Amino acid sequence: MDNFYSFKFTHSQALAALHTGQADPIKYYQARRDLFQLSLMADYDQLVCLPTLTKIDKHWYQIETARKVLRQLGGRALLADEVGLGKTIEAGLICAEYIARGQIQSLLVLTPASLVSQWQLELADKFNIDTVTTDSKQLQENTDDFWTSNPRIIASLNTAKSSKHFPYVTKRNWDLVIVDEAHHLKNRSTLNWKLVNALNKRFILMLTATPVQNSLVELFNLLTLLKPGLLQTEAAFKKEYVSSKNGRVPKNPEKLRQLMREVMIRNTRSLVDVKLPKRFATTITVTPSQQEEKLYQDLTQYLRSQQSLDKFSRTNLLMRAGSSSRALAESLKNLAKRLPSDEIKTLTKRAAQIKQVEKAKALVDLLKQSKQKTIVFTTHRATSSYLASTLESAGIPFAEFLGDMSLNQKDAAIAAFKDSVPVLLASETGGEGRNIQFANAIVNYDLPWNPMKIEQRIGRIHRIGQTQDVFIFNFCLQGSIEEYILGILHDKINMFELVVGEIETILGQVDDEFDFSEVVMDIWLKNQSQAELNTAFGQLADELLKAKEQYRETSELDEQIFGEEFEA
């Protein structure tokens, strides 16, 4: 050995006891451990969960929000940060801290159906909190067992409030309840509000960027769930704090704000000084080959005629058709095993025979011209594998970041992307929780139909710490459902110019359970001609534009009422 190390220990009573083999009974250790735990619980100056959370950006205002909820608000709070500042992260921090301190066992997260899986993924990946959801088969097989045996549940608000499940949800005790999109509880006469009011809950967090949408009475209804009696009765609240007939102008605003500070935190972008570079989006519409176009059209006709085929299979096939012929062939092959038919066999054979993909050619052309560090996102492994061989043949250096790779392989991929190669070929989770702001271009080679997933992809590089303008290239085939989706998201509501997170809030304005991907699939299958499709998608665009305007009006109202007086 070239190096030798020596250690010198200072004499102590503990060292002497160790040397002579002396030990106290285990009960003394347990007593000291319990005393240490009590001292932790008495002081929230430090969040003990933070060292274990390696997959989140720890922003100061989010940590301060968590500390304030724990120390001053007693674990019952309305988190009303402006869109894009990370209310989900704040709720996750509070939840993880309570778990780390042993203060909670049971958890219930109530959210719109479209966000159930997203919440499960976020809690597991970023906070190491495992949950079950109301999408689980266990719920259908044994309802009583589902609600009584699982300690941590994420539930669709619509499912939980239904007559079948309401008694189960409200029968048990919950240590912590988290309600996302809490503006859906603004009306006390609805089942949404009645469900949350009936829950046996110790701690409760309610998340919304728009606590008041129409009237100050909505604020009264929300805060009454958090701290019953804080604002007395509705009649007393109106008399004391509402000055206009429409209920939008506050009276005694300073006194009202003083009361709201007992239960509410609202961080604003101006306070936290979030200044992100601009982002620019481009839609690249690729003309398919005759072979590709005919296959896509025939698949669409097949799906329109097969009403008996389950919704998941139809959606999956159409999404894969928009991704690559290889991904489509893989799914058709699996479907043929389950539902043997000559039509499926023929479609499978035709998909497998397509060797040259026009969209892949367009990608190669783009990457050869680009001087930016670029992440190419794909949803399906078959597509990723095809692109890997295509880039290799084109002589374009790249690294791969795939979900099933080991941690060391992922680290090596990010290091190679940073230091030596211009392209990272990534799966849906590519770069999550990692510092990859050195890249400033994203290619959505296949387009998720869920706008929030598109936003999550962009958020890998368009985030605090990014110093360059960000460029987004969205690929789609001419005449595909993705072309219509981008026509709405990009051309109509300018999604890529919105603040991170605003698209989610806008979609929430449409309806409590509005699911964009389900709606576009429904339109695609029900309308045959191009004229019919143009009309139906145009109506959807108009509906979303109306929701966007409502969101703008609500944001202005909330700004007037709350200002910047509720920061952590």
pLDDT per position as a tens digit, 498-520: 876 778 778 877 876 788 999 99
> Is it the case that residue 385 has pLDDT exceeding 50?
yes
| 467: CB partners within 8 A, 6+ apart | 277, 437
Same domain, 203 and 283: no
Residue 220 lies in a domain: yes
Please list, residue by residue across 17-42, b when 16 or more beta carbons sit within 10 angstroms of its beta carbon and e when fewer do. eeeeeeeeeeeeeeeeeeeeeeeeee
Same domain, 457 and 483: yes
Residues, the chain, total?
Answer: 568
Residue 9 lies in a domain: no
Share of the chain above pLDDT 90, in %: 56
Cα dihedral sign for 318, 320, 323, 326? negative
Same domain, 361 and 267: no
Residue 463 lies in a domain: yes
- Counting the structural domains of the chain, the total is 2
Per the listing, tokens 């809950």 go with: 201
Q: Considering only CA atoms, which of 503, 508, 524, 513 is closest in space to residue 451? A: 503
Same domain, 245 and 384: no
CB 321 within 8 A of CB 335: no
Residue type at position 491 = D
Same domain, 356 and 266: no
> pLDDT band at residue 157, thresholds of 50, 70 and 90?
very high
Tens of pLDDT, residues 32-61: 887 877 666 667 778 989 999 988 888 899
At 1 the pLDDT is: 46
* Residue that finishes a domain, picked among 209, 240, 273: 273
> pLDDT band at residue 210, thresholds of 50, 70 and 90?
confident
> Is it the case that residue 284 has pLDDT exceeding 70?
yes
Residue 427 lies in a domain: yes
Q: Looking at 205-214, 241-250, 535-544, which range is the least confident one?
A: 241-250
At 75 the pLDDT is: 96
Same domain, 283 and 202: no
CB 476 within 8 A of CB 517: no
Tens of pLDDT, residues 178-195: 999 898 898 999 999 999
Q: Looking at 251-260, 268-277, 335-344, which range is the least confident one?
A: 268-277
Residue 507 lies in a domain: yes
Same domain, 466 and 378: yes
Instruction: Give the number of other CB atoms < 10 A from CB of residue 257.
Output: 16
At 12 the pLDDT is: 80
> pLDDT band at residue 177, thresholds of 50, 70 and 90?
very high
> Is it the case that residue 211 has pLDDT exceeding 80?
yes
Same domain, 248 and 356: no
Same domain, 265 and 373: no
Q: Looking at 163-177, 238-252, 384-398, which range is the least confident one?
A: 238-252
Give whole-number Cα distances, 183 to 79, 157, 497, 506, in Å: 11, 12, 24, 13
Same domain, 363 and 229: no
- Over residues 470-497, mean pLDDT: 93
Residue 328 lies in a domain: no
Angle subtended at Cα 443 by Cα 441 and Cα 445, rounded to the nearest 5 degrees: 175
CATH number of the structural domain spanning residue 259: 3.40.50.10810
* Residue that finishes a domain, picked among 227, 244, 273: 273
Same domain, 227 and 283: no
> Is it the case that residue 162 has pLDDT exceeding 80?
yes
CB 478 within 8 A of CB 285: yes
> Is it the case that residue 278 has pLDDT exceeding 80?
yes
Residue 366's domain comprises: 279-287+352-558
Instruction: Give CA–CA dist 222/244, Å, rounded.
Output: 20
CATH number of the structural domain spanning residue 457: 3.40.50.300
- Evaluate if pTM is beyond 0.85: no
Instruction: Give CA–CA dist 270/50, Å, rounded.
Output: 26
Which ranges of 150-252 would DSSP assign to H, the alpha helix?
157-161, 166-171, 191-198, 216-226, 234-241
Per the listing, tokens 């964009």 go with: 516
CB 348 within 8 A of CB 333: yes
Mean pLDDT of the chain: 89
Residue 25 lies in a domain: no
Residue 29 lies in a domain: no
Tens of pLDDT, residues 536-548: 999 999 999 999 9
Same domain, 161 and 225: yes
Instruction: Give CA–CA dist 234/225, Å, rounded.
Output: 13
At 537 the pLDDT is: 95
CB 262 within 8 A of CB 78: no
* Residue that finishes a domain, picked among 273, 296, 331: 273
Q: Considering only CA atoms, which of 460, 513, 79, 55 is closest in space to residue 264? A: 79
Tens of pLDDT, residues 101-135: 999 999 999 998 878 888 998 999 899 999 999 99
